[in-house]
Every structure is written in structure tokens, then in C-alpha cells.
Amino acid sequence: MGKPTGFMEFKRQKTKEQQPLARIGHFEEYAQRLTDEQLQTQGARCMDCGTPFCHMGIEIRGSAAGCPINNVIPEWNDLVYNGKWQEALDRLHLTNNFPEFTGRVCPAPCEGSCVLGINEPAVAIKSIERSIIDKGFEEGWVVPRIPRHRTGKTVAIIGSGPAGLAAADELNQQGHTVTVYERSDRAGGLLMYGIPNMKLEKDVIERRIQLLQQEGITFVYNTEIGVDMTAEELRAKYDAVLLATGAQKQRALRIEGSEGNGVVLAMDYLTSVTKSYVHSNFEDGQAMNVEGKNVIVIGGGDTGADCVATAIRQNCKSVVQFGKHPKLPNARTEETMWPKDPNTFTFDYAYEEVDAKLGRDPREYCIHTEKIVCDRDGNIQELHTIYMEKILGEDGFHYFKELPGTEKVWPVDYIFVAIGFEGVEKELPEQFGVELINNRIAATIKDYQTTVPGVFTAGDARRGQSLVVWAIKEGREAAAAVHQFLVREAVSA
């Protein structure tokens, strides 16, 4: 806890942010840290709640409740309140390999389960977390941890997203020799090119990768297992293999006209823009550019919001985001009672920016896309929609009912499809001969081992599309399972 009466004395203070009209002129991070004194005040709000639900890390009916990696949040809140920043950093790193990632892009289920959040704004956990690690790097407290001994065992990790990186970090600290294979030109998975710079600057990722390299982890880039090296060759070279490729098969739009020119998968758009920005500050001309164009984003989640924010920075003519669900409530409902995630209406960064520039929230709710109309050359021109009503059926399930008379035709030049991911790309699992269930690599959460001995899996490849913080948890737990496997193999040898 922080100050015993702090939660009664101090109000939650939001992280400082650059004004929307200013920040849409660049792709740099827009969130800025509070002062140390302000953060100590925020840490003081952590109350003596008895049972701190913020770090319990469970799922309730598919919704995260508390921190999945069980960050001991009250302890580092108290340490920040008392000005013990280095001790707070040690406590943070005890459970979280990469707090600089989660402190920026995690939706903070911990705050949704904060006891104070029942009837007051929750403790600013995410802001404090990010500030602890950023201060740690600035002060030189984050230094390479060189393992004291090497076991002689080798592990190959395929995929350098948060699950693969967390597993690599844990296994390296156990003394195993770890090599991470990445088919892209840089590490980080979707963190690198799938999340825009304004949410996560790429030097934050590369700073951590350099640290992992200094600690002994080898990264091999531009290498696709199954193409540049076979699964058999890899297995023959290493004592264990971890598949942490993510669930990167994007769900496509399947309606009339969806093959038209201008219909683009959201991650392809975001990747083209971020890669061009990172590589050349857009000078290479490789970024997909929607300047002066009418843009529609289909999909109401965070990836769709990132498309909106990117399009407004490119000076699009208009941008609208479609979601099939109703507008979220302003307060918790019976379905999202504490300690579940509140799932309430928010005005996130992308929507603030569009509202500031174009004068409206870009989101449309309960809308169904019916067809796309193209010109003779196959270029999209119109998107036809109809609004819907979400109703509760007699069987207890919700259904969508179209509302006659609400048809609408939208002029459009680009449609970005952000309706989620279907699962893993099947070519690699097939090479390893592992079993797939529901487009995910089959493995239990107990040992993370696939149907092939010595081959493990973790992260979105195992559990499906999820949060960065769940990927870190899976990477840590999979690393423990791989370590036990290598120990058993050494004993039996």
C-alpha cells in the first residue's frame, strides 16, 4: 500500500499527453511521463485493500481480471510512494520481463480489478509501471545480467514476439544457450511493425533486444523456418524448440466486392507504414498512403483504432470505423461487475484525434457491411451497409437483427479490414508435424509441449489472439517447462 489515507486525499492524474492537433503531425509517442513527485502521489493512492485483486491474474468468462503475470503491484506502488525507485524496479522485474512494453500497450486489466476502482478512479498502475522502467534505463540501473554458468543445452525459439522474447530471457538466465529465429528484419513480432510508433517507439524495443544480446541470446533475422531452414535441420541442431510464431493469419472480409483494389488487411497497412517510417522516415516510398482519400476501417478493436490514428496522420479526407456491437455503456453493467474488466466506453487516442481534426467521433456502431461496389478497373468506390439491433433471443443468446430503412452507401477509396486473426499460419506447424486444434498449436498449459517430443509452443500460437501480457506469461511458463524437459534429458542421458 501507499499512504493509508492517500486514496481519500488524492485524485487520479492522467498521464500527460500532447494535444491531438499537435500530435497528428508526427508519428512519435504522444504520452509523456509525470514528474517523480506526481508519480509518488499516484503511488500513495494504492490503498490497504487487504486482498489486492489487481495482481490475481485470472480469466472470468473469457475476460481478464487482474494482472496475468501477477505483478506485485501494491509493493512497487508503495516503493514509488516512498521514493525507492530502484527497489521498485527490482520488484517489477521479478514478474515482468518487459515492463516497458506492457507499460505502453497493455490495456491494464489490473486497473479494472483495482479495489479502489469499485467506486473511484483506479490507481494509475500502468503509468507508474512505465515510469519505473523508463527511470531505470535513464539512471543506468538496467544492466546486462550475465548467467553464471552454461548448461551446454541449446534451445531454438521461432518467433521474437513477447512470448518468444520472454521465454528466451528466462531460458538464458537458466544457463541454456538460446537462439531466436525471426523471419522479419527486426525482433519484436507485432510489437515492431504491427503497433504504430505513437503507441510504442521502436527504440524501446531495440534497447531491450540489445540488452538480451549482451546477456548471451543470439538473434537470427530474415530467416523463415520451413523455407530457409527445414524443421528437421533445426531439430537436429537444438535440444529443444519453442514455437512462438503468434497467430498471424488475419481474418479476411468475405462479402461481394471484397477482392477489389483498395481492400487491405489492417496489419498489412500498419506494417507498411511503420516499416517505412522506421527504415527511412518515409523516404523509401514504401508506405501505403491514404492522403486525400476516404477511408473506412472495419473492426472495432485496438488494431482498427491504430488504423484510424495512422490514416489521420496521413491527412486522409475522411475516416470511419465500423463495429458490429452497440456502443459500450458509460458505467459497469451486471455482466462486467468488478473485478472483471469494466468494458466501458472510452475516448481513446485515435478518436480524440479524429474528433479534433474532423469534428466527430469516427465510430459507427451496430453496422453490417453488405457489399462493395468497384469500377471497371476493379477499384473500390462504394461500401453498402445497413444498421442492426442487438436483441436477446428466447434461448438466452444475443442476435443481430437488420433494421430496414437504415441502408447507407459510403464513398470509399480504402477499406482496412481489422476483424481479428484466424490463428496460426499452418505451413510451419505442418513441417514440425504438431497437432492443430481450432487453428492453434495443441499443447496443455501444464507443460506447453506439443504432440512432438521436444517441441513446445507458447503465446498466441497456443492460446489464440490475445494481449501482450498474456504472451509474456505464456513465454515465462513455457520456459519453465522447457527447462524441466532439458533437466530430465540431462539426467537420463
What b/e readout covers 106-138, taking b as 16+ CB neighbours within 10 angstroms? Answer: bbbbbbbbbbbbeeeebbbbbbbbbbbbbbbbe
Predicted confidence (pLDDT) per residue in 454-487, tens digit: 999 999 999 999 999 999 999 999 999 999 999 9
What pLDDT was estimated at residue 1? 65
Tell me, yes or no, whether 146 lies in a domain: no
Tell me, yes or no, whether 439 lies in a domain: yes
Q: Are residues 265 and 331 in the same domain?
A: yes
Tell me, yes or no, whether 149 lies in a domain: no
Tell me, yes or no, whether 21 lies in a domain: yes
- Dist. CA 102–CA 205, nearest whole Å: 11
Q: Are residues 215 and 117 in the same domain?
A: no
Q: pLDDT-derived band of residue 158, with 50, 70 and 90 as boundaries?
A: very high
Q: Does 8 have pLDDT greater than 80? A: yes
CA count, 13 A, side-chain hemisphere, 87:
10
What pLDDT was estimated at residue 59? 83
Q: Does 490 have pLDDT greater than 80? A: no
CATH number at residue 123: 1.10.1060.10
Across the range 329-358, mean pLDDT stands at: 93
Q: Are residues 283 and 336 in the same domain?
A: yes
- Dist. CA 11–CA 31, nearest whole Å: 19
* DSSP-derived pairing of the beta strands 240-243 and 154-158: parallel
What pLDDT was estimated at residue 483? 98
**Who's near 349: CB < 8 A, 6+ residues apart?**
17, 20, 30, 198, 199, 305, 309
Across the range 367-377, mean pLDDT stands at: 97
Q: Does 268 have pLDDT greater than 80? A: yes
- Dist. CA 396–CA 400, nearest whole Å: 13
Across the range 16-30, mean pLDDT stands at: 96
Q: Are residues 315 and 369 in the same domain?
A: yes
Cα–Cα distances (Å) from 244 to 98, 163, 437, 462, 463, in that order, read 16, 6, 16, 8, 11
Paired residues of 158 in beta bridges: 181, 243
Range of the domain at 12: 6-138
CA 75 to chain centre: 25
The C-alpha cell that represents 398 in the structure block: 444475443
**Who's near 490: CB < 8 A, 6+ residues apart?**
151, 153
- Dist. CA 30–CA 147, nearest whole Å: 37
What pLDDT was estimated at residue 365? 97
* DSSP-derived pairing of the beta strands 363-364 and 440-441: unpaired
Tell me, yes or no, whether 13 lies in a domain: yes
Sign of torsion, CA 54 57 58 60? Answer: positive
What pLDDT was estimated at residue 493? 63
Q: Which of 341, 339, 357, 337 is nearest to 349 (CA)?
A: 357
Across the range 190-194, mean pLDDT stands at: 96
**Who's near 295: CB < 8 A, 6+ residues apart?**
307, 311, 316, 317, 318, 319, 320, 412, 413, 414, 415, 416
Predicted confidence (pLDDT) per residue in 211-224, tens digit: 999 999 999 999 99
Cβ-contact 261, 380 below 8 angstroms: yes
Boundary (domain end) residue, out of 107, 138, 169: 138
Q: Are residues 22 and 123 in the same domain?
A: yes
Boundary (domain end) residue, out of 372, 400, 419: 419
Q: Are residues 312 and 461 in the same domain?
A: no
Tell me, yes or no, whether 145 lies in a domain: no
Q: Are residues 245 and 258 in the same domain?
A: no
Q: pLDDT-derived band of residue 50, with 50, 70 and 90 as boundaries?
A: confident
Q: Does 2 have pLDDT greater than 80? A: no
CATH number at residue 195: 3.50.50.60
Q: Are residues 39 and 133 in the same domain?
A: yes
CA count, 13 A, side-chain hemisphere, 357:
24
- Rounded to 5 degrees, what angle do the CA atoms 38, 43, 45 make? 105
Mean pLDDT of the chain: 95
Q: Does 346 have pLDDT greater than 90? A: yes
Q: Does 417 have pLDDT greater than 80? A: yes
Across the range 110-119, mean pLDDT stands at: 94
Across the range 230-256, mean pLDDT stands at: 96
Q: Are residues 29 and 89 in the same domain?
A: yes
Query: Crossing angle for the helix pair 125-138 and 36-44, nearest 10 degrees?
Result: 140
Q: pLDDT-derived band of residue 491, with 50, 70 and 90 as boundaries?
A: confident
Tell me, yes or no, whether 120 lies in a domain: yes
Boundary (domain end) residue, out of 138, 171, 188: 138
SS3 99: helix
SS3 265: strand
Tell me, yes or no, whether 143 lies in a domain: no
Grid cell 484525434 — which residue?
A: 353
Q: Are residues 332 and 372 in the same domain?
A: yes
Predicted confidence (pLDDT) per residue in 249-266, tens digit: 999 999 999 999 999 999
Count of CB atoms within 10 A of residue 256's CB? 13
The C-alpha cell that represents 245 in the structure block: 510464431
Q: pLDDT-derived band of residue 61, with 50, 70 and 90 as boundaries?
A: confident
Q: Does 24 have pLDDT greater than 70? A: yes
Cβ-contact 248, 158 below 8 angstroms: no
What pLDDT was estimated at residue 48? 87
Q: Are residues 95 and 183 in the same domain?
A: no
Q: Tell me the three-class secondary structure of 348-386, residue by residue.
A: CHHHHHHHHHHCCCCEECCEEEEEEEECCCCEEEEEEEE
Q: Are residues 382 and 427 in the same domain?
A: no
Sign of torsion, CA 371 372 375 378? Answer: negative
Number of separate domains in the chain: 3
